[in-house]
Every structure is written in C-alpha cells, then in structure tokens.
C-alpha cells in the first residue's frame, strides 16, 4: 500500500510539474525534451530486463558502456553542428558523405518505426485475454496501416501535437517507477535478499550482444535536426543535457532492477518489465502499459514524419512523403511478420550505427581540417570504427517465446 501511495504521488507530482506552463514553455527544457524523450523512450521498457538476464551483476557496467558509446557518437554530431556553423563551405566529399548519412538516417527511421510499433502491439495485448505473439503482430499491423492512412490522407500535423503530453506522461511514469523500485530495493537490502547473479553472457558473445543494443540509447541525434527552432549552441546544449539526464535515469534504473530482482524468475520477453513490476506494486504494470502505448505511438509518428520529409528532400522531391510512408509501412509489415522484436532491435542498432559511422567520418575530416584538432580527428575516427564494429558484429538477444 505504501509503495502505491508513493508511486502515485511521484507520478502525479512529476506530471503536474512537467505540465506547468512555465516549465513547458522554458526554451532550454523544450529543446532538451525532444532528444531526452527519444533516448529513454522504448529502450527504457526493454533494456532493464535484457541487461539483467544477459549480464547478471555486471548489467550496470554494460549500461554505463552503452551510455558512454552513445555520448561518444553524440560528441561527433555535436562537433558537426558547431563545425557547420563555423565553416559553412564544405568539401564535395563531406557534402556527399552527409547525403549518404541522411539516407542512412531515413532508412534507420523505417526500422525504428517497426521497433516502436512492435512494442506498442506487445504492450497493447499484455494485460488482456488475447496476449499472444499473433495478436500483438495484428495490433502492430493495424497501427502501421493507420499511420499510413493518416499520413496519406491528412498528414501528421494534428497527431504531432500529442508529443508534449505523451513525453510528460512518460517521464512522470518513469519517476513513479524509480520511486517504487527504490522502495523495493531498500526492502530487499534490509532483508538481505539482494541478488548478484553471475553473468550468462561473457567474452565476445557479451560484447556482440551489447553492440546489438545501441538503439536503446539512441535518439540524441534529433537535436541536430531542430535547426528551424534553435540556434546551434542551444542544440548542442540540449543534446548534452538530454544525454546526461538519460544516463542518470538509466543507471539508477538498471542498478535497482539488477540487484533487487532475480532475472531468471521472469521469462525474457519484450514485456518482461510488466511481469517484474507486479512484485513491486499492483499499480505499476498498468502505468507501464500506459507509458508504452503513448510513447511508442507518438515516437512512431515522429519517425514516420521525419522519414517522409527526409526522403522528399534527399530525392529532390522526386519521391513524395506519401510514397515514403508506403515504403516505410511495407518494411514495417515485413519486419513484424518475419522477425522477432529482439531481431528488430538488432537491425535498428545496425542501421543507426551506420549513420553514426558516417557522422564520425564527417567529424573526423572536419577536425583534421582544423589545424588545432588533429587529436580530436583521430578520436572521432576511432568512434567511427566502433560504429562499424557495431554494424558488422552486433547480435540480437535470445528471448523467450
């Protein structure tokens, strides 16, 4: 009962704070909330159980490694934002690489929409009598077709207005989750029941698995594409703030989850977090399902719209957003019916890794061109090599059916 009261108070309090006009209209917060929402969106729901199942007591170390890798890629993108402002005249090779990078991002969006909506489908049926993989895929397919119909007939302007509300709701529920987990952790520690499980995944297999999870801390790059609303300095700060805050949230979450729960007691599925949280409080599963549904659908809308706009721009308006939406939905349907969610996570990680590799290449060239930054250029090149390693060696999680 105490947990339920504390969780409800924390959730409602955080939601009330985030919905205050003075907070919602605060320009730095508005700039930060877009990348923050992307980073801790879908990944937050699946990453905790995956890490605790796969790495046992070392899960927090792997989480820190993922956050550091994401921060490294973010550093390259931040350098590119500033470098374009300082040196708008770019070489032909840089412009060509940027063009390929944008196409890579558009393709990554196609896979990420499938990822978001497969989670949407799984969480939709989780607490119903129809909880099965086939039912989840049917809901995902219906959501993809709905997005296609809305994008084709009306566009996404009206639906994009939901983002501020869904982001605030998601962050408020995460606040409630962390409070509930903290209370449960203290109780487990007090009774001497904290869990320190040996890692099932070690060596190269563990590294390759971590490579396949980079999508779960992706989203910071959205700051780069807020140029119509914010100046470069604000976009750079917004990405840093979002990554710092997301790292703090992720590390707290994974530490609490890893040592308070025996991961083996719950089968590893995309909705495992719901089953785990039943032990903490009766209200948490419903809150997490609500967060999942609102977050995944709004994220899918944002990425579908972004992909359509990118494809239209990159094709010189030869491919309309409508055709881009159709292609995206066909890819999404194929992934939904012929791949498992954990495979889609790995595919999305690889797609974004390719985009990050190209961004690191652009940053490396730009840094070497500045006489004072050869060391930085070398570091960015190493980040690019890491992204290529993720692209080629990332492996999907083996979940339970």
Output b/e per residue, 202-230; b: 16+ Cβ within 10 A.
Answer: eeeebbbbbbbbbbbbbbbbbbbbbeeeb
Long-range Cβ pairs for the range 11-17 (8 Å, 24+): 11/172, 11/173, 11/175, 11/176, 11/287, 12/172, 13/175, 14/171, 14/172, 14/175, 14/176, 15/168, 15/169, 15/172
Q: What is the C-alpha to C-alpha distance for residues 290 and 61, in angstroms, rounded to an integer?
A: 29
pLDDT tens for each residue of 378-392: 999 999 999 999 999
So what's the pLDDT on residue 229? 74
So what's the pLDDT on residue 75? 95
pTM above 0.85, yes or no: yes
So what's the pLDDT on residue 160? 54
So what's the pLDDT on residue 147? 87
Q: What is the DSSP string of 310-373?
A: HHHHHTTTSS-HHHHHHHHHHHHHHHHHHS-HHHHHHHHHHHHHHHHHHHHHHHHHHHHHSTT-
User: Positive or negative CA dihedral for 40, 34, 325, 109?
Assistant: negative
Question: Which one is the CATH code of 2-85+106-393: 1.20.1250.20, 3.40.228.10, 2.70.98.10, 1.20.1740.10?
Answer: 1.20.1740.10
So what's the pLDDT on residue 77? 94
**Which residue reads 């590294």 in tokens?**
207
So what's the pLDDT on residue 372? 66
Categorise residue 56: left if φ over 0, alpha if ψ from -120 to 50, beta otherwise: left
Question: Which residues of the chain carry a pLDDT beneath 70?
Answer: 42, 155-164, 227-228, 371-373, 399-401
């Amino acid at each position: 009962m105490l947990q339920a009261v504390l969780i409800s108070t924390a959730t409602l309090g955080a939601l009330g704070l985030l919905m205050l006009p003075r907070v919602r209209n605060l320009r730095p917060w508005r700039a930060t909330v877009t990348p923050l929402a992307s980073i801790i969106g879908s990944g937050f729901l699946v990453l905790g159980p995956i890490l605790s199942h796969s790495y046992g007591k070392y899960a927090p170390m792997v989480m820190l490694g993922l956050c550091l890798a994401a921060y490294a890629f973010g550093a390259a993108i931040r350098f590119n934002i500033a470098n374009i402002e300082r040196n708008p005249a770019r070489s032909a090779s840089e412009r060509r690489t940027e063009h390929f990078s944008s196409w890579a991002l558009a393709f990554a969006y196609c896979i990420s929409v499938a990822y978001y909506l497969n989670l949407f489908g799984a969480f939709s049926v989780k607490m119903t009598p129809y909880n099965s993989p086939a039912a989840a895929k049917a809901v995902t397919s219906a959501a993809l077709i709905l997005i296609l119909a809305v994008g084709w007939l009306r566009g996404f302007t009206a639906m994009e207005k939901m983002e501020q509300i869904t982001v605030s709701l998601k962050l408020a529920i995460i606040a409630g989750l962390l409070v509930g987990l903290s209370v449960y952790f203290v109780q487990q520690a007090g009774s001497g029941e904290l869990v320190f499980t040996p890692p099932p995944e070690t060596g190269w297999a563990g590294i390759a698995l971590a490579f396949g999870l980079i999508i779960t801390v992706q989203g910071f790059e959205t700051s780069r594409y807020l140029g119509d609303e914010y100046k470069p300095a604000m976009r750079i700060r917004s990405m840093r703030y979002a990554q710092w805050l997301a790292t703090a949230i992720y590390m707290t979450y994974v530490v609490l989850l890893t040592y308070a729960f025996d991961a083996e007691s719950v089968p590893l599925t995309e909705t495992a977090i719901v089953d785990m949280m039943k032990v903490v409080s009766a209200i948490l599963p419903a809150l997490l399902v609500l967060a999942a549904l609102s977050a995944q659908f709004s994220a899918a809308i944002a990425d579908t719209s972004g992909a359509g706009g990118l494809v239209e721009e990159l094709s010189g308006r030869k491919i309309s957003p409508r055709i881009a939406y159709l292609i995206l939905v066909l890819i999404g349907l194929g992934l939904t019916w012929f791949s498992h969610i954990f495979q889609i996570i790995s595919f999305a990680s690889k797609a974004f890794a390719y985009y990050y590799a190209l961004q690191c290449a652009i940053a490396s060239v730009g840094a070497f061109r500045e006489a004072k930054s050869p060391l930085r250029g070398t570091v960015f090149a190493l980040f690019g090599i890491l992204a290529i390693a993720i692209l080629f060696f990332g492996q999907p999680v083996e979940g339970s059916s």
